[in-house]
Amino acid sequence: MTDASSTAAALSVESVTHAFGPKKALDDVSLIAPAGSFTALVGQNGAGKTTLFSLITRLYDNRSGSIQVLGHDVRKQPAKALSQLGVVFQARTLDLELSVIQNLLYHAALHGIGRREAKTRAEAALGRVGLEARAKDKVRALSGGQMRRVEIARALLHGPSFLLLDEPTTGLDIGSRRTLLEEVRRLIKEDGIGVLWATHLTDEIAAADRVVVLHKGRVMANGAPQELCARAKTDDVGAAFMAIVGEDAAEPRKVPA
């Protein structure tokens, strides 16, 4: 496995377990997402991806293990940790009746950013995702892919170093999915932003990515795509994923983060 410890960690999750009543949603989960890189968190529906995101963002309290963002523990230093995060949740949260720029200005106000500075940041963020020309349009007039790009622009307003994107391509067509992936990878390359991209679609994984396979709340594999393929004795990442999650998971598999 790739030794992620040699690379600066934007996100570090160690031995995190979370349950809803008697049902464990996450079971001793550990992973590292290096800074300035694309980490794909891959799992089927119900694998625990959204639960993990909710713990990272403090929607849920992690009562076991530790979660650190750029070295800041989310329980002990929540303000510092969350200030480094930009988040795009699976459910869309834009106000359809407001313009694109109004949505961004409202979000900036919630972060305590003054209106003049907010306008400058909003225009810059829209430029980074290629939507500066749509600033005055109502969100309702945008395509699904464009709405996602607005949400990414919104997530960038406070200058985070790490982005969490939970199933961001849900409901998008093939072209919009490709465009969104290209925009996110460009942000990584040009701005050094780290990304944790949750998905159930293995065709969104590139050869240079890091991959964490989450299945029924457990990390089943963690490494480069070629390492997963070698383990499953296949050249196809999708086939490797299915082989790995199909393995006997009766006992937790300890995988180096």
Q: DSSP of 69-83, one letter per residue?
A: ETTEETTTSHHHHHH
Please check the confidence at residue 256 and state whether its pLDDT lies above 50. Answer: no
The pLDDT value given to residue 52 = 96
Count of C-beta atoms within a 10 Å radius of residue 174: 9
pLDDT confidence band for 92 (50 / 70 / 90) = confident
What average pLDDT does the segment 135-139 reach?
97
Q: What is the pTM of this model?
A: 0.89
pLDDT at 235 over 60: yes
pLDDT at 4 over 50: no
Strand 218-223 and strand 210-215: the pairing is antiparallel
DSSP code per residue over 213-233: EEETTEEEEEE-HHHHHHHHT
Q: For the residues 117-133, what does the mean pLDDT come to?
A: 94
Over range 201-229, report the average pLDDT: 95
Q: What is the 3-state secondary structure (H, E, C) of 175-205?
A: HHHHHHHHHHHHHHHHHCCEEEEEECCHHHC
Hey, where are the domains in the chain?
1-84+162-257, 94-159
φ, ψ dihedrals at 149, nearest 5°: -65, -35
- Identify the three-state secondary structure at position 32: strand
Confidence tier at 57 by pLDDT (50, 70, 90)? very high
Chain centroid to Cα 147, Å, comes to 17
Q: Does domain 1-84+162-257 have CATH number 1.10.1060.10?
A: no
Q: What is the pLDDT of residue 247?
A: 55
Q: What value does the CA radius of gyration of the chain take, rounded to a whole number of Å?
A: 18
Residue 248 above 90 pLDDT? no
pLDDT of residue 59 exceeding 70, the answer is yes
Count of Cβ atoms closer than 10 Å to residue 254 Cβ? 8
CB 74 within 8 A of CB 239: no
Of how many residues is the chain composed? 257
What's the pLDDT score for residue 63?
Answer: 87
Share of the chain above pLDDT 70, in %: 93
